[in-house]
Amino acid sequence: EVLLVESGGGLVQPGGSLRLSCAASGFTFSNSWMNWARQAPGKGLEWVANIKKDGTETHYIDSVKGRFTISRDNARNSLYLQMSSLRAEDTAVYYCVGGTGWLTRYWGQGTLVTVSS
């Protein structure tokens, strides 16, 4: 069974930083592109970033470029999202997502990030 478990969400002030983690199991993590996606309250799904199997290539949505960094540790089957200079509009449930190529097949339950003073 595929399991993706996010952690690290919480309340943070505007301009602050937060690091999300995702523990993966049940599939070959090291052979999978991995992603972060989010859903703001009352809004639709939004893809945030992805990272190649070996970590040598990353892609980001424009609104987080220069502020968020996606990384992975294949030895630990773990995915990370370092978020800095957080804004109110970054408030969302953040999902860890894996799959085949760029197909986002497997989704975690999500972790809530709230940016507010």
Residues forming contacts to other proteins in the complex (CB under 8 A) are 35, 44-47, 50, 59-62, 95, 101-105, 107-110
As measured in angstroms, the least distance from the Cβ of 112 to other proteins is 12
Question: What residue type is 64 in one-letter code?
Answer: V
As measured in angstroms, the least distance from the Cβ of 109 to other proteins is 5
Nearer to other proteins, 53 or 59 (CB): 59
As measured in angstroms, the least distance from the Cβ of 114 to other proteins is 17
Nearer to other proteins, 101 or 117 (CB): 101
